[in-house]
Amino acid sequence: MLKTTEENTALGGVDERQLEESRTFPKGVIAEIQRMADEGIYAIRGFGAKRQLPTFDDLLFLGASASRYPLEGYRERCETGVTLGTRHAKKPIELKIPITIAGMSFGALGAHAKEALGRGATAAGTSTTTGDGGMTPEERQSSKTLIYQVLPSRYGMNPDDLRRADGIEIVIGQGAKPGGGGMLL
């Protein structure tokens, strides 16, 4: 059981002497993790960003590093296609644009939304990712190129769905919620 002090409210009431040094997380995050473990209550709140988030206006594309400059920009076609797995894959994934739809779990999105994302990705010539929780039949049917997301916990992992996918995305960790992970409430 952790001792608390009234004067140390910045660390959630946890005595600073009881917090071990960590190179990964600041003392405030460790105190919050210990408080959640002690009380069994997961605090859901937005911490926000300490600096302004970048926008599309902040992007700088260096065309010279991607390919040669077009001789006549209005006559030459600009190719944006990309192939994943050119060296070792038996069936490389070919995308018309180098933008993919990130994974969002079934549950966070319903079957109709997953189907709509699959149709949109197919129309745009790119891929969509299943997200945690596995693959839905609507998602597989509507997506020409579907990437199957595998979590370290193997939550929702189905070997049959894994074989039907066009590619695999392995999730190493979730940095948005240190200590809590993707805990379902």
Domain regions of the chain by residue span: 1-52, 80-170
Please check whether residue 168 is in contact with residue 162, taking contact to mean a CB–CB distance below 8 angstroms. yes
Burial of 105 (0-12, 13-18, 19+ CB in 10 A): middle
pLDDT of amino acid 149: 92
Task: Give the percent of the chain with pLDDT over 90.
Answer: 32
Which three-class secondary structure state does DSSP give residue 170?
strand
61-110 residue pLDDT tens = 766 666 666 666 667 677 889 999 999 889 999 999 999 999 888 888 88
**Residue of higher predicted confidence among 66 and 127:** 127
pTM of the model: 0.57
Bigger pLDDT: 125 vs 178: 125
Q: What is the pLDDT of residue 130?
A: 92
Q: In the prediction, which pLDDT does 185 show?
A: 45
Range with top average pLDDT, 47-51, 72-76, 143-147, 154-158: 143-147
Q: How confident is the model at residue 172 (pLDDT cuts 50, 70, 90)?
A: confident
Q: Are 101 and 76 contacting, i.e. CB atoms less than 8 angstroms apart?
A: no
For 32, the token pair is 């919050």
Which residues does 32 contact at the CB level (< 8 Å), separation at least 6? 12, 43, 179
Is the Cβ–Cβ distance between 179 and 162 less than 8 Å?
no
Return the minimum-mean-pLDDT range out of 6-10, 117-121, 143-147, 164-168.
6-10
Instruction: Provide the residue count of the chain.
Output: 185
Position with higher pLDDT, 172 vs 178: 172
Bridge partners (DSSP) listed for residue 131: none
Bigger pLDDT: 46 vs 134: 134
What's the confidence (pLDDT) of residue 4? 46
The answer to whether 178 touches 29, Cβ cutoff 8 Å, is: yes
pLDDT band (50, 70, 90) for residue 49: low
